[in-house]
Chains A and B, each alone.
Chain A
Amino acid sequence: MSGLGERLQAKAALLGERATREMYEDPFWQARFGARGREQAEKDSQFHLSYLLQALAAQDPAVFENYARWLQTLLVSRGMCSRHIDENFARLAQAIEDEIEGPEAALEVLRAGREALLYPEGPARELQRLAEPLADRTLEVVTSRQPSWFSLVVTHASMAAFESAAQAEQTRFRRDVLDHIAYLADALHAGRAELFADHAVWMQDFQSRRQAPPRRVEETLLALDECLGLTAPSAEGETNPTPRAARGTSIAPAKTAGSGSVPPPARASLRPARKRPSLSPPPDAPVPVPATAELCAASRQLIERALERLAQQRASSAGPSGAPPAVGGQQQ
């Protein structure tokens, strides 16, 4: 084994423990995956390191890339999203960079592994590529529509210490949206709508336990759908054929004269009538999230399914039980 391999092996327990501990500092992880999930995550970190060592021994990052793709199917099917795996790899890389001398080759393998989590083609890949601007746009829309969400919230102290409560909540909200997008991309790739719906149902329950505003998940998914559906033609392939003028208002930041806020997007998108008003966007509206028609249609189907499940969940929990909803299972 190479010197780097030996150094990694000598500190494997420390590296794995640190990566897992850092992830579980976020209450989401404990709430979503529990003590058993944490125990499994520590074991998983050791598996990651084991495959990393084999990739180094073979001097071939493809060994780790193959593992990353296999792991992605395994964990996505058990209630995680690709973003969580990416975070795990990233934290492991940071721990290695801090703790191991001469870590470059290991960091390169982990970088290749993170890259391998990007789907090769199709709507899922496109959605992964658009995740950041789409999250930004969704945040803008929701901030404008629901300003109270970001002012009457409880945030955890470590974030609030550095940012205002509103900024911290916006940061957390944006992260939640990125999770929604990652779950959506994973469900699209797997062709399994229930993976996204399960996540939405769990998230609604999680947020209600944290005294978040009611219907927050639903409103967020509607905004996400609107941001995707209102986008302009993509440079890649077939694009959404609906003319922008017929697709409702822009999701651009507030530029409307005198309003001071983003005009409310077309709420008709996933509501019963499903008719979008024929409003023209402002002439200077940017084109922030260019999505193809294929992606818009595929995403909408999954979001619709999730909204249906959320409505069912709301109806069933209207009684006195308040039992947590079933989710798609945990890691094995």
Chain B
Amino acid sequence: MSQAVSEHPPMDSRDALCEVYVQAQLVGDRREALRVIVEQGLRGGLSCGDVHQVIQRAQREIGRLWLEDRITIAQEHMATAISQVVLSHVYQYADALPPNGKRVTVACVEGEQHDFPSRLVADSLDLAGFEVRFLGANVPTRHLLQMLSEQAPDLLVLSVTMTFNLPALRDAVARVREEHPHLPLAIGGGACVWNKTLAEELRPDIVGSDASELVSQARELLRIGS
């Protein structure tokens, strides 16, 4: 297999991997899910970014299955917990790029409980050489501000999945800009996909539709490798 192919494997191999991975998630087999990702994914020539995409796509499929009442909330939670475990292992297996000297803080806005997408972003940024502080779900804005003052990151990533948490995003953005007017800001998550006018309204430096795109834009914004 040529280098080019191993760097950009055909989409169908990721699709096939995703299908097998989802099956392992649905039966609750953590070891099989991990084996699929490590043995068939990472050792089969996929990059860490590819594997992240597979997991991201699998999570979307799990979400669709729940939406269509084909699986229960319990199954959905079990599947997501498996992806959390697998992400940790991928992080361990992956070869991170050398540190690029830039620090990024990643957090879900106050009230937002869906932290998986932001965790994927945090891991992707970490493996791309950023120094990441991942604050997880439902971060109270005042504690976020305190963390920003202490850490002085080069970029803040705010994630919001549910549309009813957009007021918390608006509030966080306003208060961050008040206290840290020069801090670049990225926003992402499902609510940003549904609300197309949000970018125009809040004018963040980056609007990420998925982890790899956000990493790419962060590298460009912070002039990594240029």
Contacts and interface: CB of A to CB of B under 8 A. Distances in A.
Contacts of A67: 163, 194
A84 to B, nearest CB: 15
B125 interface: no
A50 B196 contact: no
Interface residues of B, number: 16
B167 interface: yes
Contacts of A74: 67, 69
Interface stretch (A29-37, A52-60, A208-216, A238-246): A52-60
B167 to A, nearest CB: 7
Majority SS of interface residues in chain B? helix
Interface in B168-223: 170, 194-198, 201
B67 A73 contact: yes
Interface string B53-82: 000000000000001111001000000000
Interface in A26-67: 47, 50-51, 54, 57-60, 62-63, 66-67
Given A54-B164, A57-B166, A332-B73, A63 B194 contact: yes
Contact of A66 (B167, B170, B194, B201): B194
Majority SS of interface residues in chain A? helix
Contacts of B68: 73, 77, 190
Interface string A59-96: 11011001100100110011000000000000000000
A60 B196 contact: yes
A58 B67 contact: no
A317 B170 CA distance: 57
Contact of A77 (B69, B163, B166): B69
Contacts of A66: 194
Contacts of A58: 166, 195, 197-198, 201
A59 B194 contact: no
B163 A329 contact: no
B69 A54 contact: no
Contacts of B167: 1, 54, 57
Contact of B195 (A47, A54, A70, A190): A54
Contacts of A54: 163-164, 166-167, 195
Contacts of B170: 57
A63 to B, nearest CB: 5
Interface string A267-309: 0000000000000000000000000000000000000000000
A67 B190 CA distance: 11
Contacts of B166: 54, 57-58
Contact of A329 (B69, B196, B197, B198): B69
B163 A51 contact: yes
Contacts of B196: 60, 62
A77 B166 CA distance: 27
A58 B191 CA distance: 12
B164 to A, nearest CB: 4
A37 to B, nearest CB: 14
Nearest to A77: B69
A58 B166 CA distance: 10
A70 B67 contact: yes
Contacts of A62: 194-197
Contacts of A1: 167
A74 B195 CA distance: 19
A190 B170 CA distance: 36
A63 B69 contact: no
Contacts of B70: 77
Interface of B: 67-70, 73, 163-164, 166-167, 170, 194-198, 201
Nearest first, the 7 closest Cβ-Cβ pairs linking A and B are A77-B69, A66-B194, A50-B164, A77-B68, A60-B197, A54-B163, A58-B197
Given A54-B164, A60-B197, 20 more contacts: A50-B164, A54-B163, A54-B195, A57-B166, A57-B167, A58-B195, A58-B197, A60-B196, A62-B195, A62-B196, A63-B194, A67-B163, A70-B67, A73-B68, A74-B67, A74-B69, A77-B67, A77-B70, A78-B69, A332-B69
